[in-house]
Amino acid sequence: METKLSVLFYSKTSKRGKDGLVPIYLRVTIDGRRFEQSTQRCVLPAKWSAASGRAKGNNEEAKTLNYFLDALKQKVYNHQSEIAHESSGLTIDTFRKKWLGIKERPYCLLEIFKQHNEQLRQLIGLDCSKATFGKYRTTYDHTTKFIKWKYQVNDVEINNLQYHFITDFEFYLKSQQRCNHNTTIKYLSNFRKVINVCIKNNWLIKDPFFGYKMSKKEVVRDFLNEDEVQTMAAKDFGIERLNQVRDIFLFSCFTGLAYIDAKRLKRTDVCIGIDNEKWIITRRKKTGSPTRIPLLPTVLNIMEHYKTHPKCEFEGSLLPVPSNTKLNAYLKEIADICGIHKHLTFHIARHTFATTITLNNGVPIETVSKMLGHRSLKITQIYAKVLDRKVSNDMQVVRNKFKKKSEDQFLQAL
């Protein structure tokens, strides 16, 4: 939308002096808002044309005044042009500061980033998780180190940010911090949100991310197959902590719940569903999306086993879930004992639910997506890979058709 600017000179009769002269004022209007300033010139009312905003007559006095007013008008247009080439955009406020020579302290990137993170910190538990705050804090740290590495300064003005800043930042994360491609993109995605704050506040006109593609590389996600799940389920480790971690892991394999959601589960989250069977009805901590999961026999058995556990009785929790660090450390022991040659982490249970437990058994991907609490089917497709068995089953139908057709043709030939 084009900014509308108009310039007007007028005599202010309310301020007539004892000598009968009235002051001449400049009025600049930008998108309906006005800026008025005295020109420090006066004129007799009879010698002023309100219609044209100029002094009447062709005498030397009138010509001198009109030349001065023309110079002021040109100054207005010069300021308009200068502001258009600067960072803030033409508004009545930016024009006033330009006209009066008021220079603002430039906005600096890390200062804005730090303020953004401080607001996030205060929203922890309200509209932001501690993990989300941690991601932005780490991104801030990387940005700080990058600026010192690249520019040997403590901060940079945001109006100096250009496309090469982003590409150099990407190079730094990969070469100096040894981040893989997807991790680098995550940091740049967090950084871009701070840049968007600057753009929305008109502190930055041109988006340095313009033309930059932030696409992640597809990652092959591990999951357990049926034999591995059965091996783990049948194993008695003889150590209570390992048996407990195994049970919690299997619970997630058969519900698809992420670690934080399994840890937050209360007994009250188990309800009777539309089929009169037990369901878990909750919301994902990460996205707030609703999750409704019908419970399978394995899950019911695990719940029954731990319903009298002291931690569960005291806290009202469904399972005695330890810290994520301990849980993942114990899972490595479990994998070694079970002969599972995969880097076993708790999140693999979620992948296992999406693949081995559901898709592999003919559950439609739309249903899997809803149980996982995904907002988009595209996200589910990343987790839930089509297994070889599903491919085999689907192709068996085709194989049988061609086999029957071949047999019929053979019989006809006889």
94 and 113 co-located in one domain: no
19 and 89 co-located in one domain: yes
280 and 353 co-located in one domain: yes
User: Cα separation of 135 and 140, whole Å?
Assistant: 9
Range of the domain at 42: 5-100
Sign, Cα dihedral of 267, 272, 273, 275: positive
- What's the structural domain count of the chain? 3
21 and 163 co-located in one domain: no
230 and 373 co-located in one domain: yes
407 lies in some domain: no
76 and 130 co-located in one domain: no
- CATH number for the domain spanning 328: value is 1.10.443.10
328 lies in some domain: yes
**Distance between the two ends of the chain, CA-based, in angstroms?**
82
262 and 237 co-located in one domain: yes
414 lies in some domain: no
In tens digits, the chain (414 residues) has pLDDT values of 567 899 999 999 888 888 889 999 999 999 889 999 999 999 999 999 999 999 998 899 999 999 999 999 999 999 988 888 765 578 888 888 888 887 767 789 999 999 999 999 999 888 888 888 999 999 999 999 999 999 999 999 998 899 999 999 999 999 999 999 999 999 999 999 999 999 988 888 789 999 999 888 877 778 999 999 999 999 999 999 999 999 999 999 999 999 999 999 999 999 998 999 999 999 888 777 888 999 999 999 999 999 999 989 888 899 999 999 999 999 999 999 999 999 999 999 999 999 889 988 888 888 988 898 888 887 787 765 555 666 676 777 777 777 766 666 655 655
213 lies in some domain: no
Last residue of a domain, one of 50, 78, 100: 100
For 152, other C-beta atoms within 10 Å of its C-beta total 7
Last residue of a domain, one of 78, 100, 122: 100
154 and 266 co-located in one domain: no
127 lies in some domain: yes
136 lies in some domain: yes
235 and 363 co-located in one domain: yes
267 lies in some domain: yes
54 and 143 co-located in one domain: no
CB contact set of 39 (below 8 Å; sequence gap of 6+):
9, 23, 24, 25, 26, 68, 69, 72
264 and 305 co-located in one domain: yes
CA nearest to 104, candidates 93, 112, 114:
93
